[in-house]
Each structure stands twice: as C-alpha cells, then as structure tokens.
Chain A
Amino acid sequence: MSVFVDDDTRVVVQGITGGEGKFHTEQMLEYGTNVVAGAVPGKGGQEVAGVPVYDTVDEAVEAEDANASVVFVPPAFAGDAVFEALDTNLDLVVAITEGIPTQDMAKVNKRLSEVDTNLIGPNCPGIITPGEAKLGILPGNIFEAGNVGLVSRSGTLTYQVVSNLTDRGIGQTTAIGIGGDPIIGTSFIDALEAFEADPETDAIAMCGEIGGEDEEQAAKYIAEYMDTPVAGFIAGRTAPPGKRMGHAGAIVSGSGTGTAESKINALNDAGVPVADTPGEVAEAIDDFL
C-alpha cells in the first residue's frame, strides 16, 4: 500500500519539452512511472522520450486517460499551469517549480478549496512510492519499499533521512516532499491523515523547518487523531529572526512566531520525539518498529 501514488497513477508532465522536464521525464520513466503524456502549449504532436505531447492538459487527459500531473513549468507561468491542471479535475498535481510568486499561489490556493484535486508543492521534490511510481525529482535509487511514511518540507533533507533509514534496512511506503513555500497545497496534516489511513504504514518520519505554524497544527492533529507513531525533526534552530533561509517559507518572524523551539515543544507535547540530528530520526523510527 501507499498514499497518493502507485502503479496505477497515469502522469502528464507539464513543461515536458524544457530541460528539466525532459531530463526528469526520462528519470521517471526509468523508475517505472507511467508517464503517459506531456502538455506544452504550441508543442502538440511532438514526442519526448517516446511520450506524446499535447497542447493542453485537457487534451492530454482526454487522449491518454491521465489522472495526475507533474509541473516543471518556469515560475512566471507555473501558477497558470497549476490552474490548468486543477481545472482538468485530476486526482493529483505535483508542482516542482521553485519561485512561484506568493500572490499567484494565494489565487491557486483559493481555487484549490473549490476542487477535489490534491496539490503537492510547489517548490518541492515530489512524491515517491518506492518500486511503483515517482512523480518529481527525487533520486529513486536511495529509496526502498517498506513500512515507513515520510513527509518533509525539504528535498535534500528528505534524501538524508531516507538514506539513514535505508542504511538501517528500513524501507518506505511513500515519501512526500510538501515544499518550502509559504503557501503550499498538501500540508503536514493532509499527509499525516493519508499515512494514518494506510494500513501498511507502521511509523512516520516528519521533517519540518522554521516558518509558519504548520508543524504546530500537525502536532495538535497527531495528539488528537493518530495512532501511528511519528518521529520528528525540525531544521533551523540556529536561524536568526527576519532572515529568509533559502526557502521562501523558512523565516522566523520578528515577533518570534515560526521558531524551531515552538515547533519542537508542540511536537514533544503531542508525544512526538524530535531528533537532534537527522541520523537520530532513523534511530527513533527503528525504536518504533
């Protein structure tokens, strides 16, 4: 079992003719993902890595029966691309693009509340169900199929934790990078809810970072609704207030909201152990299993 993506996921790649879109389409195909179409305005009729390209997402879905999309469109056009995907009633949209203006995402977020589609990202590495499907840019070779769910705001930190898990012989049901922007689709709570409902997921690793209050909300959710054990990590303990630490969303406000301390305390109060080092996350998960 897994959450959000599996063997049956049929993917359309938006921006498939660009450098990143093409490279990662090849990588996704190599991993075994069913990439069935590409969508790029003005490029309909072409092929990329053997995948047919259509002018619109609507055509691609119609012709190839796709139910998910991955967005590699440059930031200036990515908000529009996500709208296009949402208006096609796909089950899942994964937006990899980094640097989408926040006000564009506020409009996307409004639309998201009106449709049934799940959005993952933007500014994220994507989602992988090891051995079945990968939608995004995660390096497939570090993942192993198994019984641990992983959700993270950061890409490379995910890889670090996954490699620590895999080194201990612990595989993953699904790993989700939810993204480092201030406004994102799938939140920690959405991901945790999905893992809680998945009978194959026996433990969950959750990697948060400074900024916003998503981790604090997730802590409340865990305390109230979850039986599956969760181990946490929070990046940014040493970040000064008012400075954006790479991710647009990773910023401690001047008034002190969004601090690592507040998140760690909230998680600890919910019974979630928070590791001091990335390596200790895998140890905590090992203890659960």
Chain B
Amino acid sequence: MRLHEYQAKDIFADAGIPVPNSQLADSVAGVLDAVSAIGYPAAIKAQVHVGGRGKAGGIKIATSEEEAREAAESILGMDLKGYTVDRVLVEEGVDFVDEYYVGVTMDRGEGEPVAMVSTKGGVDIEAVAEEDPDAIAQEHIDPAFGLHPYQARKVVYDAGVPAEYARDVSSILSTLYELYEANDASDIEINPVMITGDGDVIAADAVMNIDEDALFRQPDLADMEEDSYQNDLERKAGEYGFDYVRLSGNTGIIGNGAGLVMATLDLVDYYGGTPANFLDVGGGAKADRIGNALDMVFSDENVDSVVFNIFGGITRGDEVAKGINEALEDFEEIPKPVVVRLAGTNAEEGMEILNTDLVQVEATLEDAVQRAVANAEEVAQ
C-alpha cells in the first residue's frame, strides 16, 4: 500500500525529519488560502499514486496568486495517467543548492534491508541505478540489529556527501530506517533531500510503501487504506478482499492462485485477446465469494467476456459451480458471456451442477481461454 506524499510527510515530520511547510487543499479557494498562509514561491502538487507527476503536469510552481489560481484550476480534477486528482499539497518553495537521494528498501536477493544514499538526487533514481550504479552507495542491514550508527555514517561518506552535511544526512537516514522498521514499510525514500542556501537539510519529497501483510499490526496505517483506493473498482476489490489488478483489455479473468491466474492472463494474450483484469479468489473460496468475483468483473465497463479458471486443491469445484449458478440466476439477462473451466477437487461434481443455460463449459484451460477470447471479439463488435 502506497501512502500519499502528505501522509508520509506527516510521519516524517513527527519523527523529526525537517519537511517544508505545507497544507492540503481540495479546492481552488483552499489552495489560495494555503498559499496566502505559506507565501511564495509555492509548489502545488497532485496527491495521486502516479510516478513522474511533475513531467505529467501534476506539479506546478506559483510565484503569485494568479499563478496559484491557474495551477489549482489545471491540476484539481485533471486526469493523471488514469487517476483523477482531487487533492493537492501546497508547499513552500525551497531554495536549494544541491539534491541528494536517501532511501531504505528490502533487497530480495539478499533477504535483508539495504540503505541507499546518492548525491545524484532529484532525478529518477532507477535511471541512475541503471546508468551509473556506482553513484548509489549501499549498506546492507542485519534486521536483528537494525542500522548501526556507524553504517549510517559510512554509507553517507561512501556516497560522497560533503562533510558539512554528512551529519544531518546520516541522521535523516537513521530516522528513515527507524520509520521503515516501526511502520513495516517495504520502501521508504526521500528524493530529493534538499540542501538549502542556508545549509539546512530538508525532505522535499516523501515516498512510503507499506507491507500490506503487516497492516494487522499497523492500525493507524490500515485506516489510511481506504484513502489509498483511487477508483471504485479498487475500493470494491478492497471491500471484497480480493487480489485484483485492473488492466486495459476486455476479457475478464477470474481464477484461484496467483500463478495460475497470471498464466491465464498470459494465455488470453497468447490467443490474441486482451486481459481486462487479474482477479484471484484465493484458496477455499465458497459460493458467495465466487458471486462477489463475478460482480467485481461485471462492474468493469471494459469487460466484454469472462473466463473462470479454477484448479481446485482446497477450493472445491462444486462450491464454485454453486456460486456461479447463484450469481448468474439473479440476472434477467447474463451481462456478458461466461466460460467456465473446472479441474481438480470435486471438478466433476461441479461440472454436473453448472447451469449450462447460463455459462459455456470447456474441459481444458486452452479451450476455455480461446472461447472467451472469441466471445470478447464477438461482443466488442
């Protein structure tokens, strides 16, 4: 789960990391109030989970009330890579002489966290990692002990941060690691850390991703989850407790088990179709959950056809069939054609129960996907 910039900055500020003065606004009037309190220049920043906000026109600098109004009018309500901007962060402009990168993330290969510092901040750090990996100093962290103070100093020196700022930057890094651990973050980064003309060090941006599997012990962060949904489909998936990812195609996909669902998406593509979504009902799904999955996929206006692919281990084919029947019997007319393929535990019982007036049945994964792709083509015409 990704936090909004303003949420992450609140957490940073509470922990003592210097951040610019800022105020959240959801209207043009609100933005004007905020800039009059904060002063000029001010940055007006869209609060959406989209990378490259600046380039896409989601961040503007205002040096006057007129510019602030123009910026607010253009950003609020704009479509940023598929997401509508409904809030902006109005922030004091920082006069800076240098920009650094500071972050902590999980190194999957090593199975332990790694702290990273670079003097090439303020640009896409992944591009830096690609083109000039030596420009990013790294220090692995033993999770049992945490980041030792000497390590925080070492990685800052290794990155080539000038001596006069090294103490402040390593102090920010130590705090970042504490926040990473305390909040069950999967990533936490500041890009850029700005060095001001007065020699102060300040966090100009804030990125924090939280491990969703740890939300059970992070109640304050779990409360922010509702705020992290960016459209009705994501909210609905959250309510139903589904792993759901929307894509841009028109063949809806429902299955059990992440690997098999991904493989089904890939097969849709392989047979010339376009997947509309990833939806994993998980293990052991009962009839009502199957109905919710159908509701979820039918709620996506892009969907022209649906394929169900269930290989039962702990999930039982008869339960799935019951759920499909019950959900579809509620419709006067089936919204979109549904192809079902059941295998594994109780698949034969499931096949017998399935109401074939409502669904098309196929025996193999390949046949089911091909039929769903053909249905999607037909409906789309």
A: residues with CB less than 8 A from B are: 75-76, 99-103, 105-107, 109-110, 125, 137-139, 142, 152-160, 163, 180, 182-183, 207, 209-214, 217, 233, 235-240, 242-250, 253-255, 260, 276-279
- The CA of A160 and the CA of B366, in the complex, are separated in Å by 11
How many inter-chain contacts with C-beta < 8 Å in the A-B complex?
176
State the Cβ distance, B285 to closest chain A Cβ, in Å: 12
A-B contact pairs, 24 of them (CB 8 A): A101-B211, A106-B113, A106-B143, A138-B313, A152-B259, A154-B262, A156-B259, A157-B257, A163-B344, A182-B106, A235-B266, A238-B247, A238-B262, A239-B245, A245-B278, A246-B257, A247-B258, A248-B213, A254-B126, A255-B129, A255-B130, A277-B365, A279-B365, A279-B366
Residue B270 lies at the interface, judged by CB distance under 8 Å to chain A? yes
Instruction: Using CB atoms, name the residue of chain B closest to A236.
Output: B262
CB <8 Å contact, A137 and B314: yes
Instruction: Using CB atoms, name the residue of chain B closest to A106.
Output: B143
Within 8 A of A (CB), among B185-204: 186
CB <8 Å contact, A246 and B280: yes
For the complex, count residues of B whose C-beta is within 8 A of A.
55
Contact of B259 among A142, A163, A209 (CB under 8 A): A209
List the A side residues contacting B314 at CB < 8 Å: 137
CB <8 Å contact, A278 and B217: no
Within 8 A of A (CB), among B136-150: 142-144
Residue B267 lies at the interface, judged by CB distance under 8 Å to chain A? yes
Contact of A250 among B126, B262, B275 (CB under 8 A): B262
Interface of B: prevailing SS: mixed
A107-B259 contact, Cβ under 8 Å, with A100-B213, A237-B266, A245-B278 = no
CB <8 Å contact, B258 and A212: no
- The CA of A106 and the CA of B217, in the complex, are separated in Å by 17
Residue B219 lies at the interface, judged by CB distance under 8 Å to chain A? no
Chain B window 210-224, contacts with chain A (Cβ cutoff 8 Å), 1 for yes, 0 for no: 011110110000000
CB <8 Å contact, B211 and A245: no
Residue B329 lies at the interface, judged by CB distance under 8 Å to chain A? no
State the Cβ distance, B123 to closest chain A Cβ, in Å: 13
Chain B window 230-256, contacts with chain A (Cβ cutoff 8 Å), 1 for yes, 0 for no: 000000000000010101000000011
Residue B324 lies at the interface, judged by CB distance under 8 Å to chain A? no
